[in-house]
Structure 1
Amino acid sequence: MLENITTQDAENINKLLEASYQHKLRNSSNPFLGRHMRQVLDIGNAPDDKFYLEKLLRAIQETLGDRFLNTKIIKTQGRNTTEIRITSDGLLNEFLERGGFVNVLNQEQERKKQEEEDKQAADKLAKLDLEIKELQKDDLVYKKGMQALEKKVKQLQNDDLVYKKGMQTLEKKVKSLQKTNLYMSIGLAVATALTLAFNFGKLLAILGVY
């Protein structure tokens, strides 16, 4: 109900309660009636005026209940009766001294403001939590990617080691073949020299005969 109540409405409710309190002090037996309320608010008897007065009384009913007063809105054929009957002068006076309905409205507005701030904070925390989860998810993907990359690097390093060992073996074989080829070349040279020497000896023998 208070969401439809403005600060001006709250001030008018305080006027009604204060006037009702003064009326009670002057005449404790009679309730504070609608005609007195309209005089306090300086409004007439038009439908809009009656509607506004009933709006204020309903706000009193729904907010204050029957702690120190009773409010009535009685609708009969062709006539509406409204009244305020105070049940505790002392409590009403204390209520007015603390700011009355204006204070109630301010507290309600502050409560709603705090609720909105809490909601915004909760929304921000939820959004932040979601962002953190996304980052954690991205970090997990990154870590898995890095692990896969590390495996590939290790495989390449292993392949490189195999390659180097293969090259070393090949180099050994080449050197061995080169050494064998050297021996074969030396052997061939020796054989050639021996052959030449043998042929030369034969030639000398032939020449000696002739």
Structure 2
Amino acid sequence: MLLNRATAQGIADGRVTVVLRRWDAPRVKPGGTQRTPVGTIRIDRVTEYPASYRVSTAQAHAAGYPDAKAAQAELDRRRAAHTYVIDVSYLAPDERPGLAAAETLSEDDVAQIAARLDRWDAATDPWTRGYLELIGANEARRAPDLAADLGVDVPRFKRRVRQLKSLGLTISLDVGYRLSPRGRAFLGADDPRHRAARSVKG
């Protein structure tokens, strides 16, 4: 479920308590969580209605719209089988900036990061360290250009960079990315066996 910054901020401030969506099938579950640009939100309840359902004024206001007409017009832009009224609440601030700022790592920190990257590599192919090195050598370079260097499609490239960002290893810029202090510290301390075997793959 994609949320823009304004909606995410509204949830964090408590002004937005409902998200309205038109889908063929539910994409979130009660009790689930989702990271947003301003922190983690919790999915409290998911109510399914037919596509013909008309949202109420109260639901529209809870979703941050000025009235039901505006909310309905936004929903009607997408044709799908169901309308979903999703109750949400703010859970916690985004911990990634704090992680990313760490300039020193303990041996345990390095081992934990390496273990996570190893699992991602084992699930597909060895890509994690290569992506980190590529980003480190190409700060603020456009994502499509980096993806082209690797011979992969842009959505796949961005998805993988988001995985690295979830560990606080990269930082998104207005254009492109850069390694975080945590990312640089990890590359400097990573097991040399990984560096010897490393290859950049899509």
Q: Normalising by the residue count of structure 2, what TM-score does the alignment of the two structures yield?
A: 0.29
* Bigger CA radius of gyration: 1
Structure having greater relative contact order (Cα 8 Å, sep ≥ 6): 2
